[in-house]
Chain A
Amino acid sequence: MSKDFSWDSAAEIAQAVASGQASAAAVVDDALARIGKLNPQLNAFTAVTADRARAKAKAIDASPDKKALPLAGVPIAVKNLFDVAGLPTVAGSKINRTHPAATQDQPLIARLEAAGAVLVGALNMGEYAYDFTGENVHDGPSRNPHDLTRMTGGSSGGSGSAVGGGLVQIALGSDTNGSIRVPSSLCGIFGLKPTYGRLTRARSFPFVASLDHLGPFARSARDLALAYDVMQGPDAEDPVCAQRAAEPILPMLERGLDGLRIATAGGYFRKGASPEALEALDRIAKAAGARAEIEIPEAARARAAAYVITTVEGAALHIGRLRKQGNDFDPAVRDRFIAGAMVPGTLVVQAQKFRRWYREQVLKLFERYDAILVPATPCTAPKLGQVNFTLDGVDMPVRANMGLYTQPISFIGLPVATVPVPLSPLPIGVQVIAAPWREDVALRIAHALERMGAATAPRPNL
C-alpha cells in the first residue's frame, strides 16, 4: 500500500524526498489520488495539472541537486487568479474563461517550483475576489473540510479547503481585505498576509491595486516560512513590489517569545465578536503573555475607507465588462461594482488621505508593542448559502462583513499571520499583526503558539 502523505508537513516531505526516503513521484501521485477522491466533496480545485505535476516530480527525483531543494516534492496549488502556463486565468469568473491561456507561470509559482515544489492545480475562489464566503455561482462553493455544509470563507476559499482538507501542503491566495485571513480562520489553518509590496503580484489577476497582496496558506508556521522565504525578492514586473532583498525567516523561527511585547486590541475588535472569536483570542493572548489591551484608533473608519477604495478601484477595473457583459457576472459581484462605478471620486481621495493619517497613528503603536492580536473573523464558518448573520445584535450581510476585523489591517498593509485555534466543533483564527516588514515577528509568534499547543490546524474527518 502506498504511503498517505496527506497530513505530513511540507518540511517533512521535503526532507524525505531530499534524502531519498520518499520519491517526489510517490508524493505527487498520492496528492493527485486524494484530490480525485476528495475534490468532488470539497470543490476546492477548478483545474488539476496532473501531467505537468508528474513530469515535474520525475524531474526532481532524477535531479542530482534535490538535496538542496527546500521544498523538494511538496505539492502546492494556487488560487485561480494566478497565471498558470496553459490555463486561462479565470479569477473565479465566467467571463475570463474565454481569455487565452497564460504563457508563463506567475513568478511566485516559479520561485516555489525552483525550490522543488510541484504545482498540482488551480483553486476555486469568489468571483474576481470580491467575496468573503468562498461561494461561486459558476463553479459552485468550495466546502469547509470541517463541515461540508459550511463556508470556507473567501475569497481564497479553494485555498483554505485544499490545505485544511489535506489535499496539498501549501496553497497560494490573495488578500485585498482579508481573503487569506478569512479562509484561514474558517478552515482552521495558518495563513500569511505579508507586508504590502513584499511579494510580487505580477501575472496575477488584480482586484484593487492599492490593497492587493499575495501570500501562502499552510498547516504550520514552519511551512509558511519555508514557502515565504523562497518567494521573497524584488520583481521589476510589479511596480508595487519592494526593492528589498529576501529576509529569510526560518533561521529565526525558533527564537520564541522572549523580548517580544505583545498586546491585544479591544474596542472595535471586540464589538460584534462571537463568544468563539473571543475565546480563541483569549486563549492566544494568554499563551502569548499579552496582558495589555490597546485601542487601534479609528479602526471603524479605516474599514469604511477600505470599503470605499475597494468598490471604486474594483469598478474601475471592470467597468468595460459591466457595460458589455453584465449578465455574465455573479449578480452579487456585479451589483456592487455598478454601485462602485457611481461613487464620486472626491470620496476616494478622502479615503486615501485618511489612509495616510491612520497609518501614522497605528505605526506609533508599534513603538510600544511588537505585535497586536485581534480576531480574524467575527464567528466560525457560517452555513453555505447563509446571507445574513447577527453581530452585536445587528443583522448584516455575511458576504460584506466577514472581513470586519481584517480590513482595517490590510488597509495599511501590515503583515499578519493568522493562527488557527481548534475549538470544537469548528476552528477559528486569530490575527498576529506585526509592524511593516516584520513578518519574522508574526511568524515567530505563530510558531511559538503552535509549539505551546495553543494554535494548531485540526485534522478533519474526511
Chain B
Amino acid sequence: MANDPLDDFITAAAAALNLPLDPAWRPAVKANLAVTLQHAASVAEFPLADEAEPAPVFKA
C-alpha cells in the first residue's frame, strides 16, 4: 500500500527544515497539519483578483 502523501511530506519537510521529529509527536503533528491544510484550502479556493493586495502594508 502506498504511503499517505502527507506522511511523506512531513518526513521530507522535517528533514529539509532541520526540525527534529520524535516519532511519538508525529500523529499530532500530522493531525494538526491536516486541519491547517483544510483551512488553507478553503481560503485558497476563494476567488480573488490577481491584483488583490495582502492586508499588511509596508511603508518605506
Name A's B-contacting residues (CB within 8 A): 210, 298, 300-301, 303-305, 307-308, 311, 319, 322-323, 326, 331-332, 334-336, 338-343, 346-347, 349-357, 359, 400, 412
Contact = CB atoms under 8 A, between A and B. Distances in A.
A226 to B, nearest CB: 32
Q: What 7 A-B pairs come out closest when comparing CB atoms?
A: A304-B39, A352-B54, A339-B32, A335-B28, A355-B55, A347-B40, A339-B33
B46 A354 contact: yes
B36 interface: yes
A298 B46 contact: yes
Nearest to A312: B36
Interface residues of B, number: 32
B55 A359 contact: yes
Contact of A301 (B28, B46, B56): B46
Given A304-B40, A308-B36, A352-B54, A331 B25 contact: yes
A325 to B, nearest CB: 10
B52 A304 contact: no
A336 B32 CA distance: 6
A183 B48 CA distance: 35
Most central of B13, B38, B54, B56 by chain A CB within 10 Å: B54
Contacts of A412: 55
Nearest to A342: B13
B19 interface: yes
Contacts of B39: 303-305, 307-308
21 contacts: A300-B42, A301-B43, A301-B46, A307-B35, A308-B36, A308-B40, A311-B36, A319-B19, A323-B20, A326-B20, A338-B32, A340-B32, A342-B9, A349-B54, A350-B43, A350-B44, A351-B40, A352-B55, A353-B54, A357-B46, A359-B55
A343 B28 CA distance: 15
B4 interface: no
Contacts of B25: 326, 331, 334-335, 338
Contacts of B42: 300-301, 304
A331 B28 contact: yes
Nearest to B33: A339
A341 B10 CA distance: 10
Given A342-B13, A352-B54, 12 more contacts: A298-B46, A308-B40, A326-B20, A332-B28, A340-B32, A342-B10, A343-B33, A350-B43, A350-B44, A351-B40, A355-B55, A359-B55
A215 to B, nearest CB: 21
Nearest to B30: A339
Contact of A323 (B18, B33, B38): B18
B56 to A, nearest CB: 6
B42 to A, nearest CB: 5
A396 to B, nearest CB: 10
Interface in B12-60: 13-14, 17-22, 25, 28-30, 32-33, 35-40, 42-44, 46, 48, 52-56
B55 A339 contact: no
Contacts of B40: 304, 308, 343, 347, 350-351
Nearest to A413: B55
